[in-house]
Structures are given as C-alpha cells and as structure tokens.
Amino acid sequence: MNIKHFIFSFIFMLLLLNTKAQITNAKITFERKTNLYKKFKGENQRWIKEEDKIKIEYFEMYVTDSCSLFKPQDSDLKENLSWATSKNTVLQDFNLNTRYLIKTMWGEELHLTDSLFKRQWQITESSRKIAGYACRKAIWQANDSTRIYAWFSYDITPSTGPESFNGLPGTILGLATEDGGVVYFAKKVELLNPEAKQFILPKKKKIYTIPELKAQMEKQYGKEKWFKSMINEQFGIW
C-alpha cells in the first residue's frame, strides 16, 4: 500500500511538473513588420527606398485575467518614415466588455470607446511555436477579400491579443494578414504581475464612441469614393 501510494504521488508530481502552470499575468513584447510596398501601391512607392521596405516597430502588451493593455513601446529615437504606419493603444476590459482605444487619425489623437470587437474564429489543426510557447492557428474572415490568421497559446489563458483582437481560448501571440503585408509576432513573454497603475491611461476631454465617430464622418464624407475603404481599414479589421 505504501509503495502504491508513493508511485501515485510520484506520477502525480511528474504530471504537475510537466504541465506548464496556466499563465494569467504577463508582459508580452510584440514585433510588427509592415511591408510598405504592399501597403502603398503605385506612385507612393517612390518615396520609400528598397532598404526601408519593411518597417519594424515594437509594442508591449500587459495581460491579466480581467483586462489587457496593448501599446507602442516608448522610444525617443527619431522614427524613419513616421507617416507610413500608425500605432494604436488599446485597453480591453473583459469584465465590462468594453475597449478604450487611442488612435491617431488625420493628425489628431482620438480617444474612442466601444464594446469589445467580437469575431467569428475558425480554429485549425496547424500549430507553431512563438516565443517558446506552442500556439494553434485560427482564421478570421475579415471581409470578402481578406482573412486574418492568428496564433494563440493555450498556456496563456486570457482571451485577448494585440490591437482589438480577442475571443480565442488563449492569448494571441501572432497575427498576420493573408498577403503577409502586416505581421505581429511576440518576441518575449515575461511572467510578471502588471501593476494596476499600468492600466491607467491619460484621458482626453473629448471621447467619442466608435459608432458616434463613424456617424459623424459619414455625415461629412459619406459620399466620397474613399470613405468606405477608409472606415473598413480603420475600424473594420484591426
């Protein structure tokens, strides 16, 4: 009886040690690569030299089981081709089902709120390793012409991800557009407990809700040719 007891406890210990503990708090550093030649077709390409074709930027995401904050990494160095891409700050609150978004649009910093962006995911069988974690691939049909691929980790449990992505059984560590033009990959996962003050954002006086902003822009520019694709690019995918 003693030995059986001992063997069971031993096997139990082994199993315990083998499964990685479920992670709920982490700081994840993402690297985003944007192919500027795919983003700007035609005339605009002449402003971008061949060696600057891929623009690399860094973001940080603080994850807890109640909320997550995705923001650009601070750097005081001059940004090359700063006009070519934009960086958003997104605070997703899973308990209240809300998100707070800080984005720069047309030279102006906007503070927006909305409910969490719910997407229909299709989880596939393929998997890969990202930042040392086993991840599974999922696909989202963004619209008629494009899909977004996401790789999420079962080991990091909060159902969140970069930008406004969420809804998978784990934290998304990789994101890519179908044509590979924009790719987010986690480079480093640090297991630490983010302090509460990390999640406090400087608020602006004028806060729009996303539907409010869309309606205001529709009134002003709804008839313009570029309006639909601009709204889709700004609010429909990311």
Tokens of 94: 């899973």
Say if CB 68 and CB 92 are below 8 A apart: yes
Q: Is 105 in the site for another protein (CB under 8 A)?
A: yes
Q: Is 230 in the site for another protein (CB under 8 A)?
A: no
Give the 3-state secondary structure of 33-44.
EEEHHHHCCHHH
Residue window 183-222: x/- pattern of binding to another protein, with contact defined by CB under 8 A: -----------------------x------x--xx-xx--
Total residues interacting with another protein, rule: CB under 8 A:
22
For another protein, the closer of residues 76 and 195 by Cβ is 76
Q: Is 118 in the site for another protein (CB under 8 A)?
A: no
Q: Which stretch binds another protein (CB under 8 A): 106-114, 132-140, 173-181, 189-197?
A: 106-114
Say if CB 167 and CB 158 are below 8 A apart: no
For another protein, the closer of residues 10 and 221 by Cβ is 221
For another protein, the closer of residues 79 and 179 by Cβ is 79
Q: What is the rounded distance in angstroms from the CA atom of residue 206 to the CA atom of residue 215?
A: 16
| Contacting residue, 106, 118, 145, 196, with another protein by CB under 8 A | 106
Measured CA distances, 80 to 56, 109, 139 (Å) = 10, 20, 32
Q: Is 79 in the site for another protein (CB under 8 A)?
A: yes
Q: Is the CA virtual torsion 212, 214, 218, 221 positive or negative?
A: positive
φ, ψ (nearest 5 deg) of residue 20:
-65, 145
Q: Is 110 in the site for another protein (CB under 8 A)?
A: yes
For another protein, the closer of residues 189 and 213 by Cβ is 213
CB-count exposure of residue 13 (10 Å: 0-12, 13-18, 19+): exposed
For another protein, the closer of residues 110 and 131 by Cβ is 110
CB-count exposure of residue 99 (10 Å: 0-12, 13-18, 19+): buried
For another protein, the closer of residues 32 and 136 by Cβ is 32
Q: Is 223 in the site for another protein (CB under 8 A)?
A: yes
Q: Give residues in contact with another protein (CB under 8 A).
A: 75-79, 82-83, 104-110, 206, 213, 216-217, 219-220, 223, 225
